[in-house]
Structure 1
């Protein structure tokens, strides 16, 4: 083969590869994070609950959620007029090649498995978004502030002997809560009950999960635990308020919810309405900015006292000035 032939062959090969690269690059939208970036923080790129797509679907810790995908598919089939699964497969099959080209590297799944993945993942995402549009249409509430901020907004905490631990009420600015004893077994008990409720469907009421979320809202720091303890709502057998605060702040990590049947939705709504009142917002701002410590209270009192003294001195000066410029009554009579 001559020199020109070698040059032409090499050029043709490179041009073909460049054209193929350009075509692949233009279609690729899904990439695997490269090793050096992943090694910085492996957990940041690893799904913890559910896998979408082919990259993580074979991992053992994510297999449980594959059954949930089937449940979502069944719900879609039950809601739609076309409930024949073959219809869905037939609609997706022509898109297989185009879907494979979206990935930056070859996908080793055979056609049946790849189509099954597209249908299960796609229906899961669609139904999940449908449900969220519906945790948003029903939920007209937002989370409440912690105990410290609620107290600043004129919310008073009171212990009540309710029917059960979950019997929480809000009446006339008073947050009424049943007492809760915190001991060594409390975290384990709550975690196991919350884990059990996570297997319920969204249509079920998760009393323990919602109660833990309620306390997680109330408790952000040891100050919040101290407030609840002072009012007899929390009986802290652990002794350290910071430990209790950390426990509740972590209990709802990686926990789904609250769902559409959140037990305390109405209480949250009423509490937020109370806190957003003009007088309560003004009191919260006053306490947060000027009465948040003994020294701040002393400073405010000193400023008020100084203001009163200044006003008194000004009034006295005005009165003295008036007396010095006004003639006595006897002198006024003689002039007349």
Structure 2
């Protein structure tokens, strides 16, 4: 057999082409933000494309762009032009500082602001600085106009509502230190605030209007806030230690250590260490990862059939103050409309973007995982509605159920550190008891609709009459 040689044409670039490639790659390397081996302080993230495809109305702004991710979009150009009048009005409030000072301060913050975005911002220096000044002054002037009730295009109800929704989106943020710097130049707060920043109060009073989320300005330094969405997130989450151990629930921290003990015990399984054996022999507090992943609870309809009662908690500490005792679940009020949908979606997206530390629990992700388990269909939402717990302002209960059902599919939940893990165990234990399972089965089979209930009642009456007739016949 003859072996033919095949000539492979390998293109060797000329020295001129090699130089061009070298120059091109060197330019790209120089454009990479940050320094080698130094973590970037990224706080504003771009959501994956597939998340936009699932629910684009909750990810992208409808009226106004803030920051570089949606800058220049055709559908947002009307408000982009209005930003110039907002800039003029904001500068007119300051008789001491000239326009040059504002522009100079923004140039000083350019490099720091660029590093806050997860994607490289493909904007020239002048364009980026102009964007910081326009967007930052727009936000502040909007707040000030709302405070003094000055009429403006942004004061129109539907426009204002859309703007507030846009300001809640994770991709539509700018670093908080930029807004704070502009606010401080006008002397409305100190350059380095100690204690409660006056900007917190202005934002909390004039923008964050939602019945479900009880916002209170966080008692932390303004330098710790990443952006407006982060401020709202900190103001909504409970400002308290996770005290589940005191309420006979399992804390994430202690559970984490029991999980480690379980893993260590498998490693040292050949040894007969009595301490390890006792730590892993408690069935009630099993720490197997597989057991954790299997933890789930029935939906509201199934729990209702098992005898669980649902009540609205009158004075909850916060929206996460949910309890289950003696077959009764008490929950704070939850109302869902288009605004709350955007807030929930973007707050949990922000929470999911943060580095996970075992001391800090993803409480909002845990809350939405719980609601996803409870509300599977419109019937579940209707039962919570009749109990005064849930108010649906969407078109129908099916839309509300679909909204909650999507979270478990797109956001990650660490079940080894679930905030409501103890609640899950209590509900599961109650619903799986023999008595409650029999009651649920009976209710599902014979009392699920009026006709089956009538049939059961009629059959019972017929049985009683038959028994009476038999009794009297035997007595004769």
Report the TM-score when normalising by structure 1.
Answer: 0.55
The CA distance in 1 between the partners of 2:458 and 2:293, in whole Å, is 44
Counterpart Cα distance in 2 of 1:319 and 1:278: 40
1:238 to 394, 401, 418: 394
Equivalent pair of 1:212/1:248 in contact (CA under 8 Å): yes
Cα 1:314–1:268 change in 2 (3 A) is same
Pick from 142, 145, 165 the counterpart of residue 319 of structure 2: 165
Name the CA shift for 1:311/1:154 in 2 (closer, same or farther; >3 Å): same
Q: Is it true that 1:187 corresponds to 2:180 in the alignment?
A: no
What secondary structure is seen at the aligned counterpart in 2 of 1:260?
A: helix
1:153 aligns with 2:306: yes
Q: What is the CA–CA distance in structure 1 between the aligned matches of 2:357 and 2:437, rounded to whole Å?
A: 35
* Other-structure match for 2:442: 286
Matches within 5 A, 1:1-336: 8-9=1-2, 136=289, 139=292, 142-160=295-313, 161-198=315-352, 199-203=354-358, 204-320=360-476
Question: Aligned pair in 2 of structure 1 residues 264, 135: CA closer, same or farther (>3 Å)?
Answer: farther
CA distance in 2, matches of 1:314, 1:151: 38
Q: Which runs of 4+ in 1 moved over 2 A?
A: 137-141
Q: What is the CA–CA distance in structure 1 between the aligned matches of 2:303 and 2:322, rounded to whole Å?
A: 15
- Contact kept, 8 Å, 1:153 with 1:283, in 2: the verdict is yes
Q: SS of the counterpart of 1:252?
A: helix
Q: State the SS of the aligned residue for 2:311.
A: strand
* CA displacement at 1:252 relative to structure 2: 3.1
Measure the CA separation in 1 of the matches of 2:437 and 2:369.
24
**How much has 1:139 moved relative to structure 2?**
3.0
Tell which structure's C-alpha radius of gyration is larger.
1
CA contact (8 A) 1:202 1:259 kept: no
Partners of 1:135 and 1:247 in 2: how far apart? 31
| Aligned mates of 2:373, 2:416 — CA distance in 1 | 18
Q: In structure 2, do the counterparts of structure 1 residues 140 and 173 end up closer, same or farther at CA, with 3 Å as the change threshold?
A: farther
The count of corresponding residues between Structure 1 and Structure 2 is 198
Unaligned runs of 5+ in 2: 6-48, 52-117, 119-262, 267-286
Structure 1: 5+ residue stretches without partners: 1-7, 14-46, 50-63, 65-129, 321-336
Q: C-alpha offsets along residues 145-181 of structure 1, whole Å, 9 cap, x if unaligned?
A: 1000000111100000310001100011100100011
Contact 1:135 1:260 in 2 (8 A): no
Task: Compute the TM-score of the two structures, normalised by the length of structure 2.
Answer: 0.39
Deviation at residue 9 of structure 1 after TM alignment: 3.1
Residue 181 of structure 1 contacts residue 235 of structure 1 at CA under 8 Å; is this kept in 2? yes
Q: SS state of the match for residue 379, structure 2? A: helix
